[in-house]
Amino acid sequence: MKVLHINTIDTGGAAIAAIRLHELLLSKGIESKMLFLYRSGRVKVNESYYFEDLFKFKVCFNLLVKLNIIYNRRFTFYKPKIYFNGPDSLFNISNHPMFQWADVIHFHWVVKFLNWKKVFKYKSKKYVWTFHDMNPFTGGEHYRTGYNDEFKLVSTINLKRKLKYLNGVDLQVITPSDWMNQLVKKSYVFNNHNVITLRNPVPFEIFKPNYEENLQSRKSTKIKLLFVAENPNDVRKGFGLLIEAIKKNPSGSNYSLIVLGNNPDLNGLDIEVDLVGNINNPYKLAEIYNSADYFIIPSIEDNLPNTVSESLLCGTPVIGFNVGGIPEMIINNQNGFLVDSENNLVEVLNSIKMNQFKKEEVFNTVKSKLNEEDIFQSYLKIISFTSQPQ
């Protein structure tokens, strides 16, 4: 079985999940390759290909990338701040030699790369698609947060086009969370497709409790809170809610904050803040998880981010809102806290203490849910049969 994983770029949460699955397959002797639209220059992936390499002149590719953005959003470009992408692309994935090579085409986050009309005309291919956000089954939005049906007419047209392009296509849908699974099953486009929940793999040999690091962190007199997001200023990620919760907390001076990702708007936050920036080295990332007392994910809408699983595998408890796929990993009072409101977050921050959870016990709450062998065996079953709705 020859599997081709496709993602628009080689960085970001979806790319990390796709690369880890690809590497898991390689470790098990499966022929697996990856195809990206363009490279970031920040990572190196085994058995990977880049669509941009089909272009003799880089300037031609760069120009096409810019034109592609306009083409993809040609009916919605008048409001560019709204993140909205349709099923169009000037690139044709089926022209790449690896598309012809593969038995299974596994899409991940393929916005601005996948041209539904051109690719799904190849009915003989077996397709798998992991939904990292809502975009595949909506008219264009990626999440409901920040979108108020501004492009309702275009969205309706896109949904009908997607349904038409998928007619007769052998496609299996994977969702990392049960929350997303239920949304897909109710969707206009994919309600007749089989949908299976499969957690994103996380390498246990990297993300694991480091008890020595844990002891070192306990020498601090302040509770270390960790926040991770590529773009902390994305309203959906809830960083603003976290800031306000810390400000309202009478124990606010007892905390320090570590932020991974682009520099956020701290909005006058008066506590010690360590802006780490973007980390591409997974070992360094695991080290940071281990050094924190709590990982906080105040997202107001989310699938099941890799960060939640990574933190828990490192034995670091998680505080998160009871939304999306987040509560599928957090067991209240066993490996962290689920909160229902900003006031509830204030209460939790005011009550947490150091050494409240033992690293080994936090790790044990998720180790069976994220077992790589189980994920591998489930994936083999997924790619070995023709998808039928259940």
How large is the average pLDDT for residues 276-281?
Answer: 92
Quote the mean pLDDT of the chain: 93
User: What percent of the chain stands above pLDDT 90?
Assistant: 87
Q: Render pLDDT for 174-231 as a digit per residue (tens, 0 to 9).
A: 999 999 999 999 999 999 999 999 999 999 999 999 977 545 555 667 899 999 999 9
Q: What is the pLDDT of residue 145?
A: 94
Round the CA-based radius of gyration of the chain to a whole number and report it. 21
How large is the average pLDDT for residues 368-385?
Answer: 94
Q: Render pLDDT for 48-67 as a digit per residue (tens, 0 to 9).
A: 999 999 999 999 999 999 99
- 8 Å CB contact between 200 and 17: yes
Lowest mean pLDDT among 134-148, 249-263, 289-303: 249-263
- 8 Å CB contact between 325 and 178: yes
Q: What is the pLDDT of residue 211?
A: 77
How large is the average pLDDT for residues 292-302?
Answer: 96
> How far apart are the C-alpha atoms of 40 and 80, rounded to whole Å?
23
Confidence of residue 252 (pLDDT cuts 50, 70, 90): low
> How far apart are the C-alpha atoms of 289 and 195, rounded to whole Å?
32
Class of domain 2-201+371-383: alpha beta
Q: What is the pLDDT of residue 386?
A: 53
Q: What is the pLDDT of residue 84?
A: 97
Task: Take residue 288 and report the two structure tokens written for it.
Answer: 């940071």
Collapse the DSSP code of 4 into the 3-class scheme (helix H, G, I; strand E, B; otherwise coil) and give the result.
strand
- 8 Å CB contact between 51 and 98: no
- For the four alpha carbons of 63, 66, 71 and 74, in that order, the dihedral sign comes to negative
Confidence of residue 355 (pLDDT cuts 50, 70, 90): confident
Task: Take residue 321 and report the two structure tokens written for it.
Answer: 């809102």
> How far apart are the C-alpha atoms of 37 and 49, rounded to whole Å?
9
Q: What is the pLDDT of residue 22?
A: 98
> How far apart are the C-alpha atoms of 47 and 286, rounded to whole Å?
25
Q: What is the pLDDT of residue 137?
A: 98
- 8 Å CB contact between 67 and 89: no
Q: Render pLDDT for 340-352 as a digit per residue (tens, 0 to 9).
A: 999 999 999 999 9
- 8 Å CB contact between 325 and 298: no
Topology match between the domains 2-201+371-383 and 211-364? yes
Within 39-194, strands assigned E span: 48-50, 104-107, 126-130, 170-175
Q: What is the pLDDT of residue 265?
A: 85
How large is the average pLDDT for residues 272-297?
Answer: 95
DSSP secondary structure string, 265-297?
Answer: --TT--SEEEEEE----HHHHHHHHHH-SEEEE
Residue 390 has pLDDT above 50, yes or no: no
Third-level CATH fold of 211-364: Rossmann fold (3.40.50)
| Domains of the chain by residue range | 2-201+371-383, 211-364
Phi-psi map region of 295: left, alpha, beta (phi>0 left; psi -120 to 50 alpha):
beta
- 8 Å CB contact between 176 and 200: yes
Reading across the β-sheet that carries 195-197, which strands appear in turn? Answer: 48-50, 31-38, 2-9, 104-107, 126-130, 170-175, 195-197
Task: Take residue 45 and report the two structure tokens written for it.
Answer: 């992936």
Q: What is the pLDDT of residue 267?
A: 80
> How far apart are the C-alpha atoms of 97 and 91, rounded to whole Å?
14
How large is the average pLDDT for residues 126-150?
Answer: 97
Q: Which residues contact 388 (CB under 8 A, 6 or more apart)?
A: 194
Q: What are 255's strand-pairing partners?
A: 223
Q: Render pLDDT for 153-179 as a digit per residue (tens, 0 to 9).
A: 999 999 999 999 999 999 999 999 999
Q: What is the pLDDT of residue 218?
A: 54
Q: Which residue has the tokens 């306990």?
A: 218
How large is the average pLDDT for residues 106-135?
Answer: 97
Q: What is the pLDDT of residue 236?
A: 95
User: Which has the higher per-residue pLDDT, 46 or 252?
Assistant: 46
Largest Cα–Cα distance of the chain, in whole Å?
Answer: 62
Q: 353-386 as b/e, with b when 16 or more CB fall inside 10 Å? A: eeeebebeebbebbeeebebeebbeebeebbeee
Let me know the angle formed at the C-alpha of 334 by 353 and 223, rounded to the nearest 5 degrees: 20
Q: Render pLDDT for 88-119 as a digit per residue (tens, 0 to 9).
A: 999 999 999 999 999 999 999 999 999 999 99
User: What percent of the chain stands above pLDDT 70?
Assistant: 96
Q: What are 104's strand-pairing partners?
A: 3, 126
